[in-house]
Structure 1
């Protein structure tokens, strides 16, 4: 590099940032400590701890005992002036919190509405028979218990709907994240955007893997800038607690993140006079802080489940089907790799609606007014009918007897009796294995 200046990334005529031939020099500008080890030691209790958004949201998918351990650990670290949360993280937490609560609420409402006392009975023949009295008494008790269960769930739903930022998780955080624990640098937005575009062009982590998002992925970069700000001010080793597995945070092997990216290690070291950086999951942090092994195991299981669901949600691409429902008796089979197939049946309704049938071994439900990627709980929708008229832009669900689910959205309907040369239905769909969270296409 001439005159001691760093090479700049060139912009194309359309204003887009072109890749730089100096990407490695941009990522590793100083060779002085490049080969130095960056391992933090478990006995060092002076590391700073910075929390990511996914760590803050995790308690919404776990039990009270695990959340109790998380709260006490966060409170202990905050009291020791070791715990920090970037302003961007808090904003992302608030932005995502209500969706998490809504997912829980849907599940509780589905359970409250799913109690069916009519299925708990004996044939009329046994009425007033002395021999059947024990069974009839048991049925009465079960129905009473079911009614109490359903009523208690409805009361819980009412409580949850009244939450306005005073849910248990937010209430706990309000007491922990106070004062200097919240780090919100006054960024000069134009300068940050310029640097971000340069880093994306050179693929300098973190965040460039999210460049396709609405915010261009700058969120991770803002969090990273806050981490750097904390490290520069405190001049201490730092642990970033996150569930991030993407390749712009970790070096990956066998679809798993194993090492922190060396660019991040080197940049943190340069900006903090040689201090070290480490990434830990929340479960790993709790283990390091001496939390009970069974609690740590439960938290790690929750992290793994969330990571799996998020990966499925982000990587599920919509398959598109164009089908002439006037052929094959309106029947269509959709095969899923290494899994059972889904059987669908359609018939003519109009040029705006189509009949979707539940074939033997399946249930069908119609879903109105949902957004893309919204969580869908099958049992919260009516599936008691064999056929539903589904309109354009509406979603229908097909559930196999094994619990696997197909979620489809109608894109177009053609009717040869209404200004079309042919009959046809076009829809996009996603498929989900049993027990996996279902997201609307």
Structure 2
């Protein structure tokens, strides 16, 4: 049955080990794998190139992969450099918390001792941030820029010299592929149907190169057809394709205690087996490629490199970065000299400070002062107690701070937004009802005091 439904079977581990050493195996790389090199730490790039060196004679890329790499290289380099500006901006947000949010609390007037502790906290955080910025500057200098010499491209030029597939023979070949691709995408036939939305993006739906017109939404299908044509060669019996495209028009995924990636889609495997004479087809992500290369070739690969390669790095639009992405990228550039645990501890201490609605508090006190038989000493005690009552949604605030602690993107603007939202909700409450609750609380404590 296995021979009949070969597309549903992944390569067994012992067979895969032999494929790495087989002279009739080719290692084929997707564009994203090459572009991701610009976002990796230096050690990760070195480990990747060491693996390539070990399988040098087996390397190959489709023409379309090389073309897309050349087209997008500079924009990726530019956007990777933007990351360092974003890191700087997020660090400034942490510092602005003290210059903005904490100053609003008027701690110096109301709680002098707490104000002293807050100043110490600010100095400690600023010191940690200063050390962190030094590590950011170091890694920034390690990254290529658009006008600098590109050593990464130099290495790729050497590795893939005479190992690039042929250019499409003519425009008719591409036009026929576009027509076929439209039908495939309607029927959800992989690969590439997840890219059909690129046709609706006015920014970059198509391009011209060397006299040929390319539609971007069919990029995966073009490289797939070029890969299949290569697989028809008599010298090729095994194809190992490395891609960091995690979409479900390449991989079969299933939900079982979380999303699990099983392997290449059966439709892909069935098609390449049907259209060529290869015996084995396998797919890797870059991190899996490094991991298996380490074990199958006895090449020294750092565990940090495998982890680094598992983090998404290609950035098409820096404006679309999420705090989580910034955090992941920042973590990949951090040095061991920064005490990140200390910074998180300091931020957790900041979490213990709560917002208090001073206007509402003054209004309560003014109304309470009109009570004739009020015990002023008791009132001061009650006022101090009241000052510790949160008018902020503490659970949401703590949740936000905990998430901020896991990244270095403390978003003070978001805190202000949540605070202002809370104030608007409070203003909608009737003043009488609010005062009644305060008065009941005061009388209850007053009675207890008299009983004592």
TM-score by length of 1: 0.51
Aligned-residue offset at 1:195: 1.5
Residues 65 and 258 (structure 1), Cα distance of their counterparts in 2 relative to 1, 3 Å cut: same
Alignment of 1:351-366 (within 5 A): none
Counterpart in 1 of 2:155? 172
Counterpart in 2 of 1:231? 231
Q: Is the 8 A contact 2:76 2:315 kept in 1?
A: no
Counterpart in 1 of 2:413? 398
Where does the alignment leave 5 or more consecutive residues of structure 1 unmatched? 1-30, 120-141, 317-332, 343-361, 363-376, 384-396, 406-441
Q: Secondary structure at the match of 1:289?
A: helix
Structure (1 or 2) with the larger CA radius of gyration:
2
Q: Secondary structure at the match of 1:295?
A: coil
Structure 1 vs Structure 2 CA RMSD: 4.9
Determine which structure has the larger helix proportion and give its number.
2
Aligned-residue offset at 1:52: 0.8
Counterpart in 1 of 2:31? 53
Where does the alignment leave 5 or more consecutive residues of structure 2 unmatched? 97-126, 200-214, 323-391, 419-452
Separation of aligned partners in 2, 1:305 and 1:258: 19
Separation of aligned partners in 1, 2:395 and 2:190: 35
Counterpart in 2 of 1:34? 4
Q: Is the 8 A contact 1:105 1:160 kept in 2?
A: yes
Aligned-residue offset at 1:87: 1.9
Q: Deviations over 1:188-208 (max 9, x none)?
A: 122111211221122211111
Counterpart in 1 of 2:184? 199
Q: Is the 8 A contact 2:65 2:223 kept in 1?
A: yes
Aligned-residue offset at 1:286: 2.5
Counterpart in 2 of 1:244? 245
Residues 208 and 334 (structure 1), Cα distance of their counterparts in 2 relative to 1, 3 Å cut: farther
Separation of aligned partners in 2, 1:151 and 1:274: 47
Residues 160 and 91 (structure 1), Cα distance of their counterparts in 2 relative to 1, 3 Å cut: same
Separation of aligned partners in 2, 1:185 and 1:191: 12
Residues 157 and 292 (structure 1), Cα distance of their counterparts in 2 relative to 1, 3 Å cut: closer
Q: Secondary structure at the match of 1:178?
A: coil
Residues 216 and 111 (structure 1), Cα distance of their counterparts in 2 relative to 1, 3 Å cut: closer
Determine which structure has the larger strand proportion and give its number.
1
Residues 284 and 336 (structure 1), Cα distance of their counterparts in 2 relative to 1, 3 Å cut: farther
TM-score by length of 2: 0.50
Separation of aligned partners in 1, 2:395 and 2:219: 35
Residues 74 and 150 (structure 1), Cα distance of their counterparts in 2 relative to 1, 3 Å cut: closer
Q: Which has the higher contact order (CA 8 A, sep 6+)?
A: 2
Residues 201 and 155 (structure 1), Cα distance of their counterparts in 2 relative to 1, 3 Å cut: closer
2:309 aligned to 295, 303, 323, which one?
303
Separation of aligned partners in 1, 2:51 and 2:169: 29
Q: Is the 8 A contact 1:85 1:183 kept in 2?
A: no
